[in-house]
Structure 1
Amino acid sequence: MSKMLEYSNIDSPIHKLTGATKLIAFIIWAVASMITYDTRLLIFMFFLSVVVFKISKVEFKQISFVLYFILIFLLLNNIAIFIFSPYEGVQIYGSRTELFKIAGPYTVTLEQLFYQFNITIKYFSIIPMALLFIVATNPSEFAASLNKIGVKYKIAYSVSIALRYIPDVQKDYQEISFAQQARGIDMSKKEKLSKRIKNSASILMPLIFSSLERIETISSAMELRAFGKNKKRTWYNEREFKKGDYITIIIAMVLLILSILATKANNGRFYNPFI
């Protein structure tokens, strides 16, 4: 069974890219998405991210739990935006097209729906790339790539350990959960939600203590091996940039340029179809 957010060595064009390329491309992609609210460009980036995810051959179940969690957060975010600023879209686009009244000062407008649609599609344009970056990047090779582009090797190694630790945390969680269920603590859907949340504390506390113990073990092992003594170090998994890496970075840069051009063409960050 595949664990969520765990790196898996798959023969795909995405996995063949170096960790540094994925990081650089993702940062450029995120910046391009944050700069503009041009709906046309954001939709294009969303479909392109889905295509890239398909090319990676990563199984959906590896990211499904995190994706559903993000979608719930996105729903709550949209509700909060409407509650606290129901006419933000009206102010941005300079027009007001009322659809129907809810209650009190709350009236649904076409401009507000379009504004919140842009926020949603902005999330959708970044989320697949962010999750893909995590599951398609070898932690050790990623640390070597970070160090290669100028990041201090201590920081690079810390990032590597954090990524590598995700499957271990999941394994510990499952083992503690099974042990607690064997003691009669019900975590199934048969229990009420409030009871399940309360019972989850019996898993979280042992998980925290086991994580702290693991951190202490790793720290002691690194200290005994004189980690950090020298200013530089070599990497076993270091890889050189290839043609695919340069092409990927160029594509990301093109998207960033398009985002900047769209901002200038729209006389601001927002594309206004109501003019």
Structure 2
Amino acid sequence: MNEVMLEYTDLDSPVHKLTGATKLICLILWAFASMITYDTRILAFMVIAGLVIFKISKVKFKQVSFVFYFILVFLLINNIAIFLLSPLEGVEIYGTRTDLFKIAGPYVVTKEQLFYHLNITLKYFSIIPIALLFMVATNPSEFASSLNRIGVSYKIAYSVSLALRYIPDIQHDYRNISFAQQARGIELSKKAKLIDRIKGSASIIMPLILSSLDRIDVISSAMELRAFGNKKKRTWYSARPFRMMDYISIGLLVVLLAVSLAFIYINGGRYYNPFV
């Protein structure tokens, strides 16, 4: 059976040709640009640009689809929770109130509140494609060498590399344990009720933790036997130097962050207000 895993895939694309350090720096700059602003125009641009970059990377959507759907559910729950806790948050932010219809009690749907939820949604969707792309388009070993090259301790860089490398292994373990549970009569397919599927998934957690701890013990023993960490420096098989495209990519993200900061000054705050 073909499994769709959230793991690195070696493709011939401009995104894959960037060094791991460049991708990390660009991800950090992109995240800062998205987090510091609620300007709808900037967020909409970032959503479109993120989708274009994802398309250029040649990564198939099905490789990240299950994570994407999980985030969609989380976003829906988050928006509902915000409305239930503060139904007039948008009114307080934008300083005007345009009622559309009343639900019950203090829960009134306003244009300002809907616009506020739109910005929250855009904020999530501006980051999601780039974050997922970073995970599936970055070679863990090359990423570690790039981090070490820009001054990060090779011990820390190698730890990050191991974390990225073993995400697919954890997914494989989850699938295998799930199949084993189903073979014992625990229904986890779509045929089962939602509450039964949740209980069945919860029963996978403990075996998954134990298998992960066992893997950690094996890896740490192997690294100790090879005297990992005894030297101040180490060489890297997959090291790659920075190229012109790396500097251009970082430069473009610096410009994006600067524009995001400039719009905060122009708007007199983080929020773009179309109601005044």
Q: Give the TM interval when normalised to the shorter protein.
A: over 0.9
Relative to structure 1, the CA distance from residue 2 to residue 175 in structure 2 (aligned partners, 3 Å threshold; closer, same or farther) is closer
- Aligned match of 1:96: 97
Give the partner amino acid of 1:269.
R
Deviation, 1:27, is 0.4
Provide the residue aligned with 1:109 in structure 2. Answer: 110
Structure 2 counterpart SS, 1:229 = coil
- Judge conservation of contact 1:3–1:167 (CA < 8 Å) in 2: no
| Map of 2:4 onto structure 1 | 3
| Residue in 1 that maps onto 2:197 | 196
Instruction: State whether residues 144 and 235 of structure 1, in contact with CA within 8 Å, keep that contact through their aligned partners in structure 2.
Output: yes
The answer to whether 1:143 aligns with 2:161 is no
Amino acid at match of 1:137: T
Match of 1:165 in 2: 166
Normalization by structure 1: what TM-score? 0.97
Query: How far off its partner does 1:180 sit?
Result: 2.4
The question of whether the paired residues in 2 share the 8 Å contact of 1:17 and 1:244 is answered with: yes
How much does 1:187 deviate? 1.7
Determine the C-alpha separation between the residues in 1 that align with 2:15 and 2:242.
13
Structure 1 stretches lacking a partner, 5+ long: none
Q: Distance in 1 between matches of 2:148 and 2:3?
A: 29
Distance in structure 2 (CA, Å) of the matches to 1:13 and 1:262: 30
> How many angstroms apart in 2 are the aligned matches of 1:21 and 1:15?
11
8 Å Cα contact 1:4/1:62 also seen in 2: yes
- Work out whether 1:212 is the aligned partner of 2:206: no
Identity across the alignment (%): 71
Query: Which residue identity is paired with 1:99?
Result: L
Partner of 2:247: 246
CA distance in 2, matches of 1:46, 1:71: 15
Secondary structure in structure 1 of the residue aligned to 2:87: coil
Native 8 Å contact 1:141 1:239 kept in 2: yes
Counterpart position of 2:31: 30
Letter in 2 for 1:118: N
User: Partners in 2 of 1:109 and 1:201 — Cα distance?
Assistant: 39
Aligned to 2:128: 127
Q: CA deviation at 1:33?
A: 0.8
Q: Decide whether aligned partners of structure 1 residues 202 and 80 sit closer, same or farther in structure 2, where only a CA change above 3 A counts.
A: closer
Distance in 1 between residues matched to 2:237 and 2:211, nearest whole Å: 29
Does the residue aligned with 1:14 lie in a helix, a strand or coil? helix
- Residue 201 of structure 1, CA deviation: 3.7
CA apart distance, 1:200: 2.5
With structure 2 as the length reference, what TM-score do the two structures score?
Answer: 0.97
Match of 1:21 in 2: 22
* AA of the residue aligned to 2:15: I
User: What secondary structure does 1:11 align onto?
Assistant: coil
- Tell me which moved more, 257-266 or 191-200: 191-200
Q: Which moved more, 1:131-140 or 1:143-152?
A: 143-152
Rounded Cα–Cα distance in structure 2 between residues aligned with 1:193 and 1:261: 47
Shift of 1:19: 0.3
Name the structure 2 match of 1:66. Answer: 67
Select between 193-202 and 23-32 the one with higher mean Cα deviation.
Answer: 193-202
- 1 CA distance for matches of 2:35 and 2:260? 9
Rounded Cα–Cα distance in structure 2 between residues aligned with 1:27 and 1:73? 22
Equivalent position amino acid for 2:256 in 1: L
Q: Which 4+ residue blocks in structure 1 deviate beyond 6 angstroms?
A: none
SS of the counterpart of 1:107?
strand
Aligned to 2:188: 187
Q: CA deviation at 1:179?
A: 2.2
Letter in 1 for 2:59: V
SS of residue in 1 equivalent to 2:101: strand
Determine if contact 1:4/1:61 at 8 Å carries over to the other structure: no
Shift of 1:272: 0.7
Cα distance in 2, alignment partners of residues 139 and 2 from structure 1: 20
Structure 1 segment 231-270 matched on structure 2, within 5 A: 231-270=232-271
What code does the residue aligned with 2:139 have?
N
Q: How many residues align?
A: 275
**Shift of residue 2 of structure 1?**
5.1
Question: Following the alignment from structure 1 to structure 2, what is the Cα–Cα distance between the partners of residues 176 and 84?
Answer: 39
